[in-house]
Amino acid sequence: MRLNQLSNVKGAVRRRKRVGNGEGNGRGKTCGRGGKGQTARSGGSIRPGFEGGQMPLYRKLPHRGFNNANFRTTYAVVNVGDLERIDASITEINGEVLAAAGLVRDANDRIKVLGDGEITRAVKITAAKFSNSARAKIEKAGGEAIVA
């Protein structure tokens, strides 16, 4: 089978619903938008939780507890196999080198090295964290994993 031989299943493709074309099609006059008011207008949408000016439920109820989203530490992830793509002349790898190679967005990101892939050359890698398998592969290749 080839891509040009594929076809849609019967009933998969439907015509666009054309509203406002007379009462006979069932979508005339108000075009399925109900009566008048804010929701009948173009661009008229009410944000979730808005109760028409009445004090919303989420403000009536007490908010308690701790939310870790504001305090979580995020890491830019780099695999051991990705380090193999960096120029062989570079023996010391840090955030600047990884950012220049396009493996992380920002040189100042916290970097965690994971153990997916293989590394064949000895490199000195500076990162915030290393997985156990990544550390083992780096050291097996004769390199060094430095936690900064």
Q: Which domains does the chain have, with CATH numbers?
A: 18-49 (no CATH), 76-147 (3.100.10.10)
Calpha distance 79→118 (Å, rounded): 9
Sign of CA dihedral 20, 22, 25, 30: positive
* Segment 15-59, tens digit of pLDDT: 999 999 999 988 999 999 999 998 899 998 899 999 999 999 999
Model confidence pLDDT, tens digit, residues 58-105 = 999 998 888 888 899 999 999 999 998 899 899 999 999 999 999 999
Is residue 1 pLDDT above 90, yes or no?
Answer: no
